[in-house]
Amino acid sequence: MPELPVPRRPSGELEAEVLAALWAAGRPLTPQDVQQAVTGDLARTTVATILGRLHEKGTVLRTRVGRAYAYTPAVQDTAGLAARRMRTELDREPDRSTVLARFVSDLSADDERLLRELLADPAGEETA
């Protein structure tokens, strides 16, 4: 059967996306929920396989809900503390984006207003 050439993504990318979806949800997700919370058309079985693999590694926890499993990310107790400690450490540095390429930098009040306008208008007026 001829299929559209869907670019195959490496399994590491899929695992990352599934884990990100679990964290974003903030509640236990069944494989069916996860399937809807990731991009692309992943087969149910693919999602189940990825979740199984993450569970084996101890990255996610699962509980039985009815006939299916529901998954949540496993949180290390020390990680939250370490995150806060590093944040205060980094906040002390005068300009902190020297080593790590951060996704977003600080905003001025005007930047913030501009971004809210751009988000409200998806067509993107020539504001900048």
Among 4, 6, 43, 79, binds other proteins (CB under 8 A): 79
Binding status of residue 15 toward other proteins by CB under 8 A: yes
> Which 87-106 residues touch other proteins, going by CB under 8 A?
87, 89-90, 93, 97-106
CA distances from 47 to 5, 11, 54, 117 (A): 20, 11, 11, 37
User: Is residue 71 within 8 Å of residue 25, measured between CB atoms?
Assistant: no
3 state SS of 98: coil
Give, in degrees to the nearest 5, the angle at Cα 11 between 38 and 53: 85
Pairwise CA distance, residues 97 & 19, whole Å: 26
Q: Which is nearer to other proteins, 66 or 94 (CB)?
A: 94
Pairwise CA distance, residues 47 & 18, whole Å: 8
Binding status of residue 6 toward other proteins by CB under 8 A: no
Among 45, 63, 76, 88, binds other proteins (CB under 8 A): 76
Residues that bind other proteins (CB under 8 A): 12-13, 15-17, 19-21, 23-24, 26, 37-39, 54, 57, 59, 73-76, 78-80, 82-84, 86-87, 89-90, 93, 97-116, 118-119, 122, 124, 126-128
